[in-house]
Each structure stands twice: as C-alpha cells, then as structure tokens.
Amino acid sequence: MQKTKVTLIYWGLCLFIFLALIPWIFNPTLAVHSIQVLAMYGAIVVAFLGGMIWGWEGTQASSVNLWCAIGFSLLGFAVALVSFVNLSASLILLILSLQAFLSFEKKNNSYFQSNIKYANARNLITNLVTICCITSLAFLYNPYT
C-alpha cells in the first residue's frame, strides 16, 4: 500500500510540472489558461488532502483535526475561486495551503511519522509543487512575455 501511495504522489506531480512548463513553451493566451488550471488542480489537491484527515484513526481522529480538515477543504475552494479573479494571489494562497498542510500532517499524522519513504515523498512533492507555483508566478511577472 505504501508503494502505491508514493507512486500516485509522483504521478500527481507530473501534471503540476506539465502545467508549469506550458507557459514557457507556448503562446501567452494558452499560458494564462495553463496557470489557471494549475491553480485549480492545486485547489483540488488541497481539498483532497483535507478530506484525507477524515480517514485518520485513533487519537488522530480528534474533533480539532476534523475541523482542520474542513478548513483545508475550504482553503482549497478559496484557491479555486480566487484563481478566477487574481491568479497571483491564488498561486500564493496555494503555496501557503500546501505548506500548511504539510506542517499539519507532520505533527498530527502517525502514518507520516512512521513511514519515512512516504514522509520523504510528501516533503519532496510539496516542495516541487511549490517550485511549480513560483515558476508560474515568475511567468506572470515576466516583463518579456
């Protein structure tokens, strides 16, 4: 099961990388759509991660953690909504959401704490997705496009 989780984490990263590269390769119109899709996909991932908390068992299934789960899901929804109004703000909110969830998971998820391979993959993927978001922000503020 752990191998499957880690493999799926890496497959999920592929779409982020692809969407972050499109603006640098194709025309500016497609670029903006690609960045918006990246933000929307990131919003879905944040909401999914928030929902994952509902599956935690034992002491991890506290009411505080369940409220945090709802908060992360709503944060994902906010990222999606903001992407229609301000892509830059949406990407920054996405970065903050992903990093906040990683920190929350490190502290509260026993699976994260007991499975080093999963923990390393989650750390790496969160940081690589953050780089994808920063790359997209760089494109948006690139004076040469």
3-state secondary structure of 61: coil
Give pLDDT tens digits for 50-66.
998 888 887 777 889 89
End-to-end Cα spacing for the chain: 44
| Cα–chain center distance at 59 | 26
What pLDDT, on a 0 to 100 scale, did the predictor assign at position 6?
A: 75
Percent of the chain with pLDDT over 70: 98
The whole model's pTM is what? Answer: 0.92
C-alpha span between 56 and 74 (Å, rounded): 19
Which two structure tokens, joined as six digits, stand for 60?
């991890």
53, two tokens = 């908390």
Question: In which band, very low, low, confident or very high, does the pLDDT at 1 lie, cut at 50, 70 and 90?
Answer: low
In sequence order, which residues have a C-beta less than 8 Å from that of residue 120 and are 6 or more positions away?
A: none
Q: What is the pLDDT of residue 9?
A: 83
* Mean pLDDT within 12-18: 94
Contacts of 121 (CB under 8 A, 6+ apart): 5, 6, 9, 10
pLDDT band at 8 (very low <50, low <70, confident <90, very high): confident
Query: Which pLDDT tens digit goes with each residue over 86-106?
Result: 999 999 999 999 999 999 999
